[in-house]
Amino acid sequence: MRIAKVSIAIMLLLAGCGDEFVGPSATGVIMPLKVGNQWIGRWTRAGSVASRIDTLTIVSEVQRGNERWYKGSDGDLYINRPGGLWQYSEKGGYYTGEAMLAKYPAALNDTFGIRSATERGLSGPFVMTEGVTLLAKDTAIGVSAGTYSCNLYAPIAIDASGAYDIPTKRNYYAPNIGPIRKVAYDSIWELVSVTLR
């Protein structure tokens, strides 16, 4: 009888050891990537009642070099590396190439994703250097899809006087869930529903 109980316990333990994402505690990433995972959000502009739905679905796996990336319905590629979530884009402009979207795990005030580009200013071209910093952890954010404990990532600009916050942009990610809220100037994206496979 005792051997049967031990055998059943071992079988149940092994049955639960697959590589499938089964819920928020099943992985240790900021955004779980698997074909079929989907984040549906709504963009709303401040002072407006109009909004638009914006959906990101992981549509396929793509081999890039020796890594397996995940292609999103937005045309970009995504990967979770040991240091966090990365994106590869070929859309052109400042955001072309690889960039870390969210360092994870991260300590407060960790700064990452530093890149520079030449911008056009009123008095001629200048070099703009930006990065992202983790401003807060375990921030409760309530959206249509529920309430989540989020990491708050904020872009910073860096110039000769040092680094300074860009308060008009914010990204909130819930570990093991993904994006929950994005603030971009006068517009806000909020998660309406999420499907994780």
Tell me the residue type at 2: R
As a whole number, mean pLDDT of residues 157-171 equals 77
At 2 the pLDDT is: 42
Q: Strand ranges (DSSP E) for 65-195?
A: 67-72, 77-81, 84-89, 97-103, 111-121, 124-143, 146-159, 162-165, 169-174, 178-184, 187-195
At 26 the pLDDT is: 37
Q: How many CB atoms lie within 10 A of CB 115?
A: 14
Domains of the chain: 29-195 (2.40.360)
Give the dihedral sign, CA 16/21/25/27.
positive
In total, the chain counts a number of residues equal to 197
d(CA 153, CA 102): 7
Question: What three-state secondary structure class fits 8?
Answer: helix
Q: 8-32 pLDDT, tens per residue?
A: 333 333 333 333 333 333 359 999 9
Q: 103-158 pLDDT, tens per residue?
A: 999 999 998 987 766 666 566 565 667 788 999 999 999 999 999 999 999 988 87
At 128 the pLDDT is: 60
Q: Is residue 190's pLDDT more than 90?
A: yes
At 126 the pLDDT is: 55
At 156 the pLDDT is: 83
% of residues, the chain, pLDDT over 70: 74
Give residues with Cβ within 8 angstroms of 22, minimum separation 6. Answer: none
% of residues, the chain, pLDDT over 90: 58
As a whole number, mean pLDDT of residues 100-105 equals 94
Which residue, among 79, 160, 168, 155, has the nearest Cα to 114 in the 3D structure? 155
At 114 the pLDDT is: 75
Helices (H), the chain: 2-15
Q: Is residue 164's pLDDT more than 90?
A: no
Question: What three-state secondary structure class fits 178?
Answer: strand
Specify whether the CB–CB gap between 70 and 58 falls below 8 A.
yes
Q: 35-83 pLDDT, tens per residue?
A: 999 999 999 998 888 899 999 999 999 999 999 999 999 999 999 999 9
Q: Is residue 166's pLDDT more than 90?
A: no
DSSP character for 14? Answer: H
d(CA 126, CA 112): 22
